[in-house]
Amino acid sequence: MHPTNDPALRSFVPVSPECHFPIQNLPYGVFRWKGESDRHVGVAIGDFVLDLGCLVEAGLLDDVDRADILFTAEDLGPFMAAGREVWSAARSAISQLLRDDEPTLRDNPILRRRALVPLTEVEMLLPVNIGDYTDFYASREHATNVGSMFRGPDKALMPNWLHLPIAYHGRASSIVISGVNFHRPVGQSNRSTAAHPTFGPTQALDFELELGFLIGPGNPLGKPIPVAEAADHVFGCVLVNDWSARDIQQWEYMPLGPFLGKNFCTSISPWVVPMLALEPFRVAGPPQDPLPLPYLRSSGDWAFNIELEAWLQPAGSPEPERICRTNARHLYWNICQQVAHHTVNGCNLRTGDLLATGTVSGPDPGSYGCLLELTWNGGKPLRLRSGAIRAYLEDGDGLTLTGWCQGSGYRVGFGSVTGSVLPALG
Amino acid sequence: MHPTNDPALRSFVPVSPECHFPIQNLPYGVFRWKGESDRHVGVAIGDFVLDLGCLVEAGLLDDVDRADILFTAEDLGPFMAAGREVWSAARSAISQLLRDDEPTLRDNPILRRRALVPLTEVEMLLPVNIGDYTDFYASREHATNVGSMFRGPDKALMPNWLHLPIAYHGRASSIVISGVNFHRPVGQSNRSTAAHPTFGPTQALDFELELGFLIGPGNPLGKPIPVAEAADHVFGCVLVNDWSARDIQQWEYMPLGPFLGKNFCTSISPWVVPMLALEPFRVAGPPQDPLPLPYLRSSGDWAFNIELEAWLQPAGSPEPERICRTNARHLYWNICQQVAHHTVNGCNLRTGDLLATGTVSGPDPGSYGCLLELTWNGGKPLRLRSGAIRAYLEDGDGLTLTGWCQGSGYRVGFGSVTGSVLPALG
């Protein structure tokens, strides 16, 4: 166990048991003071963000190789590219500085005021330049449910699905940080299988509850990453909402896959939970039968016991309501397999690339990670406590994803990713 | 007609009638002197590249707004983002300086030696940072042929194909400049529909002859580009070889589209032919029936009369042989329609984004733009003059795409994009 994961550790910064950012987490993010433009790299602790640039200036991160460059950069890219040894050293140093028995920062009120910024006073930004975004389809339950709806239960899973982690390239330009709202997309659909498609605002706007892994060091073009080395290339994890317009998607996706049904907006949570913080929550994934080809055989436990929830706040309702509760441990294909598969043909990953899991669905209906499944393509609308009925998202609806690993008396959490639906333009 | 397109113009730099880079073309590229690292922005003329940074230093581009910034940048991004007025002013100024009746540069031997660099002394680089790469499927002949092979002639075109320009997101990280070779990709395939897939080097390595349009000014997320304004957002055009592994692709592509069958390498030609230079070669595209939805109705002629060829040099053969001759005018969906479709849901394009056409195939078998079609999935191998027989590409094969617009006594050409197949790494 990495010493920074010790459940007994406590910080001098107050952290409640339900708070997502105890000293065992230490997720990285990029922020600016509200109303200012300078970007800072920081770590969340309790209700504060620790400004790593301030620690560098104060000479408190001198044990971290090139900390002066890595933590005064525009974003997390240089730090993420630096690799595991640097990640470990930085985590150790930051953990030490935040401990309740460590006076350096605790007893320096001037530095504390400068370095510990209330989260309410900052605006979070994209943590890194995401060059390429790949979306997998790693949940067997999700693939089976979608296949059942579109092709019937007999042909629910394609013949390839159990042999390889199916994926497609998503759109990098339209990835936004939590809190950015978007207009309901318009486009073509043809749900009635009429002779001609119709055009207008989507009538089947959905969310997708996903996790996303961010790549640390990449690989050169032509040089695959073996499955046993894959973990060295993964820096951390965020929540992803891959907003989807099901009617647009269904009309366009044959034969080249999703395009306008997905690329209008993808939201990610701002705090990157480092893989090191997730170590204690690694669990066995579902058994894989048939046995994958050798290049996909990972060893050790690479599923993650992460509780995941989706909360819907219907337009006009005073509060959100939980509509899905699932867990990342259900995912069939793990991140090491995804990295090995993605690069086996020589494809290069770059620092900051996002590999999302696809919708995380569990075995029972309350654990389905999108409205397509929760309402069975609108056929069984959700009846919310507020009285609202939802087959798909309506204008003004807000959707929040959250997730955490439950430790003993603390939570290693992801915070949340949220977004609201604005009316279609035009 | 833009005055720089006058067929009567001649440069003091010698240009043969078959040369791709007469004064009527003036394509932009990024180069470095062989063995050096500094990047320069230049224009091709005859067998030379005109270093625009040198012209800026000499004060010869003062009529172009911010030329000092645009042409001393790391790549073409800032110039491409500047928009049509700046593009037009730059083209006029450069054309004027290269005219045979203009003494400024012609009669200044010192400046000429510095600013006009023989193409043999430079190495070409990617012209711009390509943030997102979208590949369309715009050739009706190509889509029909592929559909016939995979689904039978009755269901060759999907029901959506005539209603919208089908596309998918490709991989940006593995786009390389002409001349970069790549290793034969390995991966899963299941051509025999056996119970289990096999793993190994692709046995169906293909090229795809495509054009690619590079985006100039982008659009904000949520703000579609109307079809009538689409041309303002397109800077220029390159050749694209979207290398493909057909056996990998066929096994993986259901239901989310191509992934490892494509993302191991995509090659582009280094010289970006500006849309202004292509103006005289705009022609009517194929009639569109059914009439597209209003958001896809472009006015004017937006097909391009560009001769396109593929040349294969089999391993061990002393010279390449032409295996395909086609024309971009066959493309069903035009670039304005592609831009309008891509953004109609609010998706944002960014400067440098690449929108490729998909394989350009014509109506007759000699005009098919990939081996999948030329050999009908390997069933009718090509018999080359050298004696070589090819169903798909073999190790050591070189493949070159070229293309040009035929003017009266000159060619507005794209140069070429070339690459060779290295053996699979094992």
A45: confidence class by pLDDT, cuts 50, 70, 90: very high
Chain B segment 123-142 residues within 8 A of A by beta carbon are 131-132, 137
Average pLDDT over residues B388-393: 98
Structure tokens at A57: 């200036």
Nearest residue, CB atoms, A174 vs list B158, B160, B347: B347
- Which distant-in-sequence residues (6+ apart) come within 8 Å of B222 by Cβ? A182, A183, A264, A425, B346, B348
For position A150, what pLDDT does the model report? 84
Nearest to B260 among A182, A221, A347 (CB): A347
**CATH number for the domain that contains residue A192:** 3.90.850.10
CB distance A346–B256 less than 8 Å?
no
Beta-strand runs (E) in B190-320: 198-201, 205-206, 209-215, 234-241, 244-245, 266-268, 273-274, 282-283, 303-304, 307-313
Q: What is the largest CA-CA distance in chain B?
A: 73
Please check whether residue A344 touches B, CB under 8 A: yes
Contact B164, A256 (CB under 8 A): no
A342 is annotated as an active-site residue: no
Give the model confidence (pLDDT) of A197-234 as tens digits: 999 999 999 999 999 999 999 999 999 999 999 999 99
Which two three-digit tokens encode residue A387?
């009285």
Nearest chain B CA: its distance from A163 CA (Å): 8
A176 and B CB contact within 8 Å: yes
Same-domain pairing of A117 and A159: no
Count of domains observed in chain A: 2
Please answer whether residues B240 and B414 qualify as being in contact, where contact means their C-beta atoms are separated by less than 8 angstroms.
no
pLDDT at B403 over 70: yes
Tally of residues, chain A = 426
Which residues make Cβ contacts (< 8 Å) with residue A204, sequence separation at least 6?
A189, A191, A245, A246, A247, A372, A377, A378, A391, A392
Determine the residue among A344, A345, A350, A351 to mutate to test chain B binding: the one whose Cβ has the most chain B Cβ atoms within 10 Å. A345
Cis, bond preceding B255 (omega within 30 deg of 0) = yes
pLDDT digits (tens, 9 = 90+) for A237-257: 999 999 999 999 999 999 999
Q: Classify the phi-psi angles of B40: left when phi > 0, otherwise alpha if psi is within -120 to 50, otherwise beta.
A: beta
Mean pLDDT of B176-193: 93
Q: Which B residues in the span 141-170 are in contact with A, Cβ-Cβ below 8 Å?
A: 147, 158-160, 163-164, 166-170
E-strand stretches of B67-170:
116-118, 122-125, 133-136, 167-169
> Cβ contacts (< 8 Å) between B187 and chain A: which residues?
344-345
φ and ψ at residue B201, rounded to 5 degrees: -60, 140
Quick one: B277 and B361 in the same domain? Answer: yes
Asked if ipTM goes beyond 0.90, one says yes
Render pLDDT for A311-337 as a digit per residue (tens, 0 to 9): 999 999 999 999 999 999 999 999 999
- Which of B99, B125, B151 is the last residue before a domain boundary? B125
- Check B172 against A132: CB less than 8 A apart: yes
Please give the share of chain A, as a percent, with pLDDT higher than 70: 99
Query: With 70 as the cut, is the pLDDT of residue B193 above it?
Result: no
| DSSP tag of A293 | P
For A256-312, the pLDDT digits (tens) are 999 999 999 999 999 999 999 999 999 999 999 999 999 999 999 999 999 999 999
Name the average pLDDT for chain B.
97
Do A413 and A284 share a domain, yes or no? yes
**Residue spans of beta strands (DSSP E) within A161-208:** 167-169, 175-177, 182-183, 186-189, 198-201, 205-206
Question: What is the pLDDT confidence band of residue B155, given thresholds at 50, 70 and 90?
Answer: confident
Predicted local confidence at residue B151, as pLDDT: 86
Mean pLDDT of B34-49: 97
pLDDT greater than 80 at residue B191: no
Q: In terms of domains, do A16 and A139 share one?
A: no
Where are the alpha helices (H) located in B240-298, listed in sequence order? Answer: 246-252, 275-278
Confirm if B53 and B40 have CB atoms less than 8 A apart: yes
Q: Do A345 and B197 touch (CB under 8 A)?
A: no
Which residue in chain B has the smallest CA separation from A151? B255
* pLDDT for B110 beyond 80: yes
Catalytic residue among A142, A233, A330, A341: A142
B265 in A contact zone (CB under 8 Å) = yes
A183 and A242 assigned to the same domain? yes
| Mean pLDDT on A49-69 | 97
User: Position of tokens 């701002």?
Assistant: A270
Take residue A185 and report the two structure tokens written for it: 């997309």
pLDDT of residue B168: 98
The whole-model pTM stands at 0.98
Q: What is the pLDDT of residue A192?
A: 67
pLDDT at A426 over 80: no
pLDDT at B195 over 80: no
Do B108 and B244 fall into the same domain? Answer: no
Give me the pLDDT at residue B69, please.
97
Q: Is the CA virtual torsion B377, B378, B383, B386 positive or negative?
A: positive
- CA dist B327 and A345 (Å) reads 31
Is pLDDT above 80 for B192? no
* Residue B402: strand, helix, or coil: strand
Could you tell me if A211 and A298 lie in one domain?
A: yes
Average the pLDDT over A327-353 and give the result.
98
pLDDT, residue A98, reads: 98
Helical H segments across A100-217, by residue range: 103-106, 109-115, 140-151
3 state SS of B127: coil
Paired tokens of A194: 């009429």
User: Under a CB-based contact definition with an 8 Å cutoff, are residues A188 and A209 in contact?
Assistant: no
* Contact call for residues A256 and B257 (beta carbons, < 8 A): yes
CA distances from A56 to A48, A62, A86, A214, A389 (A): 18, 7, 15, 24, 52
Residue positions of B annotated with a catalytic role? 142
Which residue among A90, A108, A125 closes a domain? A125
With CB atoms and an 8 Å threshold, state whether A137 touches B252. no
**pLDDT value at position A195?**
76
pLDDT tens for A88-140 read: 999 999 999 999 999 999 999 999 999 999 999 999 999 999 999 999 999 99
Residue A214: the pLDDT is 99
Chain B residue whose CA is closest to A202: B345
| Same domain? A96 vs A140 | no
Question: Cβ separation of A258 and B257 shorter than 8 Å?
Answer: yes
Contact: B345, A185; criterion CB under 8 Å: yes
- Which strand ranges, in their side-by-side order, compose the sheet holding B28-33? B116-118, B48-51, B40-45, B28-33, B122-125
Question: Confidence band (pLDDT; 50, 70, 90) for A193?
Answer: low
Q: Which residues of A touch B131 (CB under 8 A)?
A: 131, 172-173
Answer yes or no: is pLDDT of A191 > 90.
no
The stretch B136-160 carries a mean pLDDT of 94
In this structure, which amino acid lies at residue B139? Answer: S
Asked if the C-beta of B264 comes within 8 angstroms of chain A's C-beta atoms, the answer is yes
Contact A320, A312 (CB under 8 A): yes
B61 and B108 belong to one structural domain: yes
Residues B107 and B144 in one domain: no
| Pick from B44, B45, B65: nearest CA to B56 | B65
Helices (H), A37-158: 52-57, 67-70, 77-82, 84-98, 103-106, 109-115, 140-151
A266-268 vs A303-304, strand pairing mode: unpaired
For residues B144 and A111, give the distance between their C-alpha atoms in angstroms, rounded to a whole number. Answer: 68
Q: How far is B250 from chain A (nearest CA, A)?
A: 10
Give yes or no: residues A111 and A137 share one domain: no
DSSP B138: -
DSSP B426: -
Question: Long-range contacts for B385-392 (Cβ within 8 Å, ≥24 apart)?
Answer: B385/B321, B386/B314, B386/B317, B386/B318, B386/B319, B386/B321, B388/B314, B388/B315, B388/B316, B388/B317, B390/B312, B390/B314, B391/B204, B392/B203, B392/B204, B392/B205, B392/B206, B392/B246
Range of the domain at B380: 133-422
- If you write DSSP's letter for every residue of A229-270 in order, what string do you get? GGGGGEEEEEEEE--EEHHHHHHH-TTT--STTTTT-EEE-S
Among A158, A159, A169, the residue with its CB nearest the CB of B170 is: A169
Q: Identify whether residues A180 and A216 lie together within a single domain.
A: yes
The separation between the first and the last C-alpha atoms of chain B, rounded to the nearest angstrom, is 55
The helix (run of H) or strand (run of E) holding residue B422 is strand B411-422
From the candidates B182, B215, B250, B256, which should be mutated to test the interface with A, based on the most A CB atoms within 10 A?
A: B256
Last residue of a domain, one of A125, A153, A180: A125
Minimum-distance CB partner of B171 among A159, A169, A183 = A169
The whole-number average pLDDT for the span B92-117 is 98
Q: Which residues of A touch B254 (CB under 8 A)?
A: 158, 160
Q: Is the pLDDT of residue B14 over 80?
A: yes
CATH at A112:
2.30.30.230
| Residue ranges of A 196-215 with Cβ closer than 8 A to chain B | 196-197, 199
A64/A94 Cα distance (integer angstroms) = 10
Residue type at B348? N
DSSP one-letter code for B292: P
